[in-house]
Structure 1
Amino acid sequence: MPSRTRSLSLRIERWPLAVPFHITGHVIDAARLVSVTIDDGLHAGNGEASGVFYFGETPESIAAQIESVRASIEAGITRAQLLDALPPGGARNAIDAALWALESQQRAMPVWRVAGLPAPRPLLTTMTIGVDTPHAMAEAARILTHARALKVKLDGTAADAARLAAIREVRPDVPLAVDANQGWSRAHFDAMIPVLQQLDIGMLEQPFAIGADACLENIDCPIPLAADESFQDLGDLCAVARRYDIVNLKLDKCGGLTCALDLAARVREAGLSVMVGCMAGTSLAIAPAFLLGQQCDYVDLDAPIFLARDREAGVAYTCGLLHCPPQIWGHTGVTVSSR
């Protein structure tokens, strides 16, 4: 295929949430992200990334990283070369997604086929409930009648047990997972484990802060443990494998689908289960993660449901299943619409 001169465009966007979303130590009222397009004159590939706020990333820092390699991108950098040009994080994720979509357009085939993957199927995804009062969280769970799995954010305070019990009372029918977002002390962990067992909780995600989770190596936890913040890239795998049962891969953390597909295989080789999660974002961010989700044991890709408005081409959630129409990303003959 003859090479064409590329052009890169990027913009910082803000997509408000319908209501603010609370996790440990953080309130999210909008998805602030960087949207990129790589155009060869005939075809265009799109991507977006919000970055990882707990690693200090912002849309501005992501945009600056992308600008630092603009010349290489416009000169024709490949996805493999991108792995060396940018570190893991939002900048690499946004460009990686755009390169996948551009190649998909150029080759006139969907991204899953370019990647050598089977045709994607709808995925059962969890729906997340943010930290609030027990009554408000139970009401949120009750309203999510279409959800077939729920993940509950807890913040390490005394109300956590009541929050979880209130949710289980109104939703005895669904699997429940808990995400502590690094917010628990060892004493709170010890107090909550019997509660989690009593309420039939199927997963506990990231109870302790990054660097404070070595104690898990000496704890025989009866609840499967998932690493999120403690796992960014392959260098974290050895320690994580001693402490956790599941690894949560997020494209914004590991720097894109190209890297994530390899990481998923490495995580499995280490004997761990694989989960795909997401940061705040639109359906354009979910589309690449949806392909990774085809390889995962657990799927948590519900970010667009929290938006006041999604992109024109968007994912759909039906009876707990995530559907990702092809027009969102890659070869369809349609460029993904922006705000």
Structure 2
Amino acid sequence: MTSQPFTVRSVQAFCYRYPLSTPVVTSFGKMLDRPAVFVRVEDTDGNAGWGEIWSNFPSVGAEHRMRLVNEVLAPATCGRTVSAPEEIFEALTQGAAVLALQSGEPGPFAQAIAGIDLAIWDLFARRRKLPLWRLLGGNGKTIRVYASGINPTGSRQVAEAAIKRGHRALKLKIGFELATDRANLASLRDLVGDGVLAADANQGWSLARALEIAPHLREFDLAWLEEPIRADRPWREWQELRENVGIPLAAGENIASRAGFEQALGDNVLRVVQPDIAKWGGLSMCLGIARDILASGKTFCPHYLGGGIGLLASAHLLAGIGGDGLLEVDSNDNVLRDRLCGPLIDVTNGTVTLGDEPGSGIEPDLSPIEQYRTA
């Protein structure tokens, strides 16, 4: 995918934190605030594109990723002439490979590069005067969504609020006490009726524990059980889960290589595959992976739990790819999402509709969230 070459003039990352009245709880820890690292890339013609870097963990990680962009990757990007958006991704990935290895930080580097990549694709689409979803090959701009991030405490109230906002599909965080998980699943199944209900264990169980618990979850007709065990466990453990749990399995947010996704798509272990474009790969890698997911007969559901710019890019990817997957939308309060996600704020009968404006379709205004900026 090429166009008239352009030259990158500037790259800048901005870091924000929005304090939460109710922490987001997972089986491995909790978030006391919602961080976001936004990236702006401008060309020498004055056009700008926006991206976002995954920065949820550790709690001190957002500012570090911002500095990786501003102090390491931006100097390596500015002045480059670009004919195709994936050129920057490839150059930065190769150029930073030894440094990422030497520092023991392949994850943070991959996340920072993904954020720059998203901004480059947004800029590329704006220069082509095309909405990003159409540039990515889409024929329709309406996609299904689901409300996620539903905690083990107060889950019914949060889910009811999501339903009132227009959601028709829910995902509950589990991996706590079995009685609590079952009670919450029963409550949400009652609320959503025969709609989509999924559960996310956030890598919380051993294989033995997952095999023990799964029979107690089957009655809730889950659309998928997400990351019941660690993402890096031997594939034979995932295969054993698939053979015995009786619930469709989902994973992908913690797969960070093309080889990892090739393995995930090579058999019938996973029913739902969930790459996170702000965590690894950006659009340059995840566009092809998403196509492979559909070609393999699996469901592509972009993983996302961050600010509005990355969420909007994820929506454009899903619309561009098509299929019957759903976009993850965090159900917790977050102005860093709501102020910058454009049409995604309006959920109607479980769907959202993107616009026809160039790129992501919004011109981000950071002034209303200035009070939350940390660096």
Question: How far off its partner does 1:305 sit?
Answer: 5.7
Identity across aligned pairs (percent)? 24
Number of the residue aligned with 1:321? 351
Q: Map 1:158-237 onto structure 2 (within 5 A).
A: 158=178, 159-212=180-233, 214-219=236-241, 220=243, 221-237=245-261
Count the aligned residue pairs. Answer: 332
Residue equivalent to 1:300 = 327
Q: 1:250 aligns with which of 256, 276, 279?
A: 276
Gaps in structure 1 of 5+ consecutive residues: none
- Equivalent in the alignment of 2:48: 44
Q: What CA distance in whole angstroms lies between the structure 1 residues aligned with 2:78 and 2:128? A: 19
Q: Give the RMSD, CA atoms, in angstroms.
A: 2.8
Distance 1:323-1:16 versus aligned 2 partners, 3 A rule: farther
Q: TM-score, normalised by structure 1?
A: 0.85
Aligned to 1:264: 290
Distance 1:191 1:166 in 2: 22
Provide the C-alpha distance between the structure 2 equivalents of 1:101 and 1:168, rounded to a whole number of angstroms.
38
Number of the residue aligned with 1:311 = 339
Aligned equivalent of 1:34 = 37
Report Cα offsets for 1:274-316 as digits up to 9, x if no partner: 221102222x111211122122542233137631462256222
Partner SS for 1:167:
helix
Pick aligned residue for 2:86 from 80, 88, 91: 80
Q: Is the 8 A contact 2:51 2:116 kept in 1?
A: yes
Amino acid at match of 1:321: T
Distance apart, 1:326 and its partner CA? 5.1
- Counterpart secondary structure, 1:139: helix
* Residue in structure 2 matching 1:287, options 312, 332, 336: 312
Paired residue for 1:62, among 47, 55, 65?
65
Match of 2:26 among 23, 26, 41: 23
- 2:155 paired residue number: 137
Q: Comparing 136-145 with 220-229, which one deviates more in the overlay?
A: 136-145
Partner Cα separation in structure 2 for residue 161 and residue 191 of structure 1: 14
CA distance in 2, matches of 1:324, 1:30: 28
The question of whether the paired residues in 1 share the 8 Å contact of 2:145 and 2:352 is answered with yes
Q: Which runs of 5+ in 2 are unaligned?
A: 94-106, 370-375
Residue 96 (structure 2) pairs with residue 90 (structure 1): no
Post-superposition CA distance 1:5-48 (Å, at most 9, x none)? 61222211223446322121222233312212122242111122
Describe the SS at the equivalent of 1:254. coil
SS of corresponding position for 1:42? coil
Q: Residues 50 and 58 of structure 1 are in contact (CA less than 8 Å); yes or no, is this contact kept in structure 2? A: no
Cα 1:275–1:63, aligned 2, differ >3 Å: closer, same or farther?
Answer: same
Q: What SS is found at the alignment partner of 2:15?
A: strand
| 2:227/2:251 contact within 8 Å kept | yes
CA positional deviation for 1:127: 0.8
Equivalent AA in structure 1 for residue 160 of structure 2: R
Q: 1:298 to 1:306 in 2, by over 3 A?
A: farther
Q: Deviations over 1:72-106 (max 9, x none)?
A: 32113543222323447321221112112222232
What CA distance in whole angstroms lies between the structure 2 residues aligned with 1:300 and 1:194? 27
**1 CA distance for matches of 2:56 and 2:161?**
29
Could you say if the C-alpha distance between residues 18 and 297 of structure 1 is closer, same or farther in structure 2, counting changes exceeding 3 Å? farther
The DSSP-based 3-state class of the residue aligned with 1:151 is strand
Give the partner amino acid of 1:199.
F
Cα separation, partners in 2 of 1:77 and 1:64, compared to 1, 3 Å: farther
Distance of aligned partners of 1:107 and 1:265 in 2 relative to their CA distance in 1, 3 Å threshold? closer
TM-score w.r.t. the length of structure 2 is: 0.78
